[in-house]
Amino acid sequence: MAEAGWDRSDAWIFVSVVIGGGSGRHLRSPNTRRPEGVPLAGLLATAEHLQDAIPARDEVESAIQRLCGADLVTVQDGFFRLTATGETLWRTRPRSGLSSTVDTMHGILTRSRPPGPSATWTLTEPDYAAAVRAAFAP
């Protein structure tokens, strides 16, 4: 998965961070979104909503490493947030329907910048399993 270009799953996780963190709902002002970002369980629930599938642990880990390396996303205290660069990329994208947003962002990522060097963030199997349970437990 550590290819030269962006994977579609990178865009999927990026859009999940955006929507899960509230940036997608509050287009008028970046100050109106939730400042803490989105926890892993929320990111997974949003990703599942977008694609009718739960991203695998290695997809999430690889995407976050690449997005952090490109200065589009940060992870702090268990919350995923957009950086100022990520916020700009999101807000300047062409508007499209929710069903095509991941594909639109994949194209934008591919055209705009290469993935950064992979950051060292890791997602353990127990943390991933706990987030899946928290997001999808009845």
pLDDT per residue over 75-86, tens digit each? 998 899 999 999
- Over residues 114-118, the mean pLDDT reads 82
pLDDT, one tens digit per residue, over 21-60 is 876 554 445 555 555 789 999 999 999 999 999 999 999 9
70 has pLDDT over 50: yes
Residues 6 or more apart in contact with residue 14 via CB below 8 angstroms: 63, 67, 72, 73, 86, 105, 109
Residue 93's pLDDT is what?
A: 87
Residue 27's pLDDT is what?
A: 46
Summary mean pLDDT of the chain: 87
